[in-house]
Amino acid sequence: MKYKGRTVITSVVITAVFVGLGVRLAFLHLRPLPETLSRIESGRHLEQETRGPRGRILDRNGNMLALDIAAKHVCADPKFISKNGNMQDVCTALSSKLSMNRAEVWELLNQPEKEYVRIKKFMREDALEPLRAMNLKGVIFEDVPIRDYPKGVLGAHVVGYANFEGIGSAGMEQTMNAKLQGVAGLRISQKDGRRHEIYSQRTVDIDPQSGADVYLTIDQQIQHFAEVALDNLVAKYHPNAAWAIVQNVRTGEILAMASLPTFNLNRFSTAPAEWMRNRGINYTYEPGSTMKAMIVASALDCGAVRDTDIFDCENGAWFYAGKMLHDSHPYGNLTVADIIKKSSNIGAAKVALQMGNTKVYQSLRSFGFGERTGLELPGEDAGIVWKTDRWSKLSISRIAMGHEVLVTSMQMLSAIGAIANDGVRMKPLIVHKVVNTRGETILAPPPQELSRPIRPETSKLMRRLLARVTQPGGTAPMAALPGYLVAGKTGTAQKVDLVNGGYYNNKYMASFVGFLPVENPAISIIVVADEPQQGGYYGGTVCAPYFREIADQTVRYLRIPPEGFTTEYLTDIETSGSSEESISE
């Protein structure tokens, strides 16, 4: 009787439990609460945003500079591996084949409650072959695109890079990110209890659209010429940095933009931030004597002086506005033409005084100083040109030789380009065209005029005057190129001492900016060196030879025909005088 009672009680309890479960199941399936339904649907719901291949970046001739390639994330299912009892073997294999610390891999795998962990991201297919061959159970290879830069360091500051999330973060990758990125796809479906998709329940499946291809105005061959020339400059003079830009005079297209130090785009995360700086557009400096070209051009254009006017250059020392201004060589009377050729600070200051503050300021702004050029690269600096109400009495004499203003090399190249291009300053272009996946050109920026700082006849005269700079007796005979007449201007500016004020006696910015051929200019080039350490510091010594190196290879590559020396130019060639650049005070 005793055991019979226990049996009855046990039976009743068991029956009650199962009845309760049945009622609960019936309630869940037949009349579930809205919040219960919501939790169930949320757990089953699968929504994925898929990213298509990022558009490519190519040079103007279609040479590949950036593209997406197939890659994998190496992942694992620790729960599955743990149940199969081969955690040690899998850990050893992964750490060996992925060149990872074994303790790090073990920490990731030793989580038996998890069904998914990521071991190593963004592995190239070829690097995974040894691991694939091992056929490790519980190891998963997840598809993912990776950005590849086939040329490595070539054009690094222009091309830029996309981060590991596929977002453009520097250079053209950043500027054109919206067009390169394309349109994301969408997949809506349901997943089972093991979190695998139930393919029959897929309700939305929109394929992603690949990004558009961006063709740059850069020519990879000319870019190579510029980068090799800078390598040679750095090897000889050991500056802190050096950079160069090559531009099409008529269209404003940038054919090359190089900067050292540089970095490998495929390893951008390991590069110091300073190496990533595009100094051609975001390093501002006092340009020194290259500014004299714009000052003299403006003075000639407004009629303040003529090229034959003579100025007393005070035998190399002139006291003005309470300060002494020096030339590096003592000159007496010089014509305006010779002031450019010899790069006299005193002569340039007296030419500027003939114009007056207002006209000098207006000319600087007309040549584009004090504002961004509009080049479609991130980080361009506007430089500084103070309004005349902030000038001292001394300012006009110092601005004439490139002090008290800050410029970028892109601004200086744009300004000299205006002198070369019949007085028309063109907007620098870096995007040649953008082509969508259907092969349609959706963007092709046309050449754009920015300003006309001087008249065509002044341009013609200035081209002749600047051509004398590269002739014997000028400051840059090392920029001369056999068979071509080269025009240009040297710059050798003492650097500002921001701590103590004034200028350093032993730190210089050396530069040379010019164009060729003189009679029908095709390309303009600027080369700059920041603090050359040994072997010289004059622009005509440090930078002019590498201008010539870039120009020599570029004119042959582009098949720019050489021009004959006309009588007009031959009569102006001198065989005497200094080959050194006049430096600032």
Residue 362 has pLDDT above 60, yes or no: yes
How far apart, in whole angstroms, are the C-alpha atoms of residue 358 and residue 354? 11
- Residue 464: CB atoms within 10 Å: 18
* Per-residue pLDDT tens digits for 160-214: 999 988 899 999 999 999 999 977 766 677 666 555 556 566 666 666 778 999 9
Task: Of 33-42, 139-148, 501-510, give the range with the top mean pLDDT.
Answer: 501-510
At 487 the three-state DSSP class reads strand
Cβ within 8 Å of residue 204, ≥6 positions away: 186, 187, 188, 189
Residue 584 has pLDDT above 60, yes or no: no
Using alpha carbons, list the distances in angstroms from residue 27 to 14, 21, 23, 30, 42. 20, 10, 6, 5, 19
Give the pair of three-digit tokens for residue 42: 């949320």
Nearest CA to 146 out of 171, 166, 126, 128 is that of: 166
Residue 235 has pLDDT above 90, yes or no: yes
- Angle at the Cα of 443 from the Cα atoms of 437 and 446, rounded to 5 degrees: 150
**Average pLDDT estimate for 346-360:** 98
Using alpha carbons, list the distances in angstroms from residue 334 to 241, 293, 350, 474, 492. 35, 16, 11, 13, 20
157 CB burial (10 A radius; 0-12, 13-18, 19+)? buried
Which has the minimum average pLDDT: 183-187, 240-244, 287-291, 525-529? Answer: 183-187
Buried b / exposed e over 243-269, threshold 16 CB at 10 Å, is bbbbbbbbbbbbbbbbbbbbbbbbebe
Buried b / exposed e over 397-433, threshold 16 CB at 10 Å, is bbbbbbbbbbbbbbbbbbbbbbbbbbbbbbbbbbbbb
* Per-residue pLDDT tens digits for 548-561: 999 999 999 999 98
185 CB burial (10 A radius; 0-12, 13-18, 19+)? middle
Return the pLDDT at 13.
Answer: 77
> Are the C-beta atoms of 331 and 571 separated by less than 8 Å?
no
Fold of 220-263+277-570: Beta-lactamase (3.40.710)
Q: Thinking of the domain 49-182+190-216, which architecture would CATH place it in?
A: Alpha-Beta Complex (3.90)
> Are the C-beta atoms of 428 and 375 separated by less than 8 Å?
yes
**Average pLDDT estimate for 525-553:** 96
How far apart, in whole angstroms, are the C-alpha atoms of residue 282 and residue 280? 6
Residue 53, phi-psi category: left (phi > 0), alpha (psi -120 to 50), beta (remainder) = beta
Return the pLDDT at 45.
Answer: 64
* Per-residue pLDDT tens digits for 377-397: 999 999 999 999 999 999 999
Nearest CA to 266 out of 120, 154, 377, 180 is that of: 154
Give the pair of three-digit tokens for residue 186: 């969408």
Token match 């139930």: residue? 198
- Angle at the Cα of 354 from the Cα atoms of 493 and 472, rounded to 5 degrees: 50
Between strands 213-216 and 57-58, the pairing is parallel
How far apart, in whole angstroms, are the C-alpha atoms of residue 293 and residue 468? 12
Identify any residues that bridge with 206 across adjacent strands, giving them in sequence order: 186
Q: What percent of the chain has pLDDT over 70?
A: 86
Predicted confidence band of residue 233 (pLDDT cuts 50, 70, 90): very high
The reply to whether 220-263+277-570 shares the fold of 49-182+190-216 is no
Return the pLDDT at 580.
Answer: 39
Using alpha carbons, list the distances in angstroms from residue 329 to 313, 314, 315, 475, 580. 10, 11, 8, 12, 9
Nearest CA to 235 out of 545, 475, 508 is that of: 545
Return the pLDDT at 356.
Answer: 97
Is the bond preceding 562 in cis, omega lying within 30 degrees of 0? Answer: no
Predicted confidence band of residue 70 (pLDDT cuts 50, 70, 90): confident
Dihedral of CA atoms 158, 419, 555, 252 in degrees, nearest 10, equals 30
**Average pLDDT estimate for 491-512:** 91
Predicted confidence band of residue 521 (pLDDT cuts 50, 70, 90): very high
Cβ within 8 Å of residue 275, ≥6 positions away: 261, 262, 263
Cβ within 8 Å of residue 254, ≥6 positions away: 158, 217, 218, 245, 246, 247, 248, 375, 428, 429, 430
Nearest CA to 287 out of 393, 414, 378, 423 is that of: 414
Return the pLDDT at 92.
Answer: 87
> Are the C-beta atoms of 425 and 450 separated by less than 8 Å?
yes
Give the CA diameter of the chain: 138
Cβ within 8 Å of residue 189, ≥6 positions away: 46, 47, 197, 198, 199, 201, 202, 203, 204
Dihedral of CA atoms 193, 196, 199, 204 in degrees, nearest 10, equals 100
> What is the domain partition of the chain in residue ranges?
49-182+190-216, 220-263+277-570
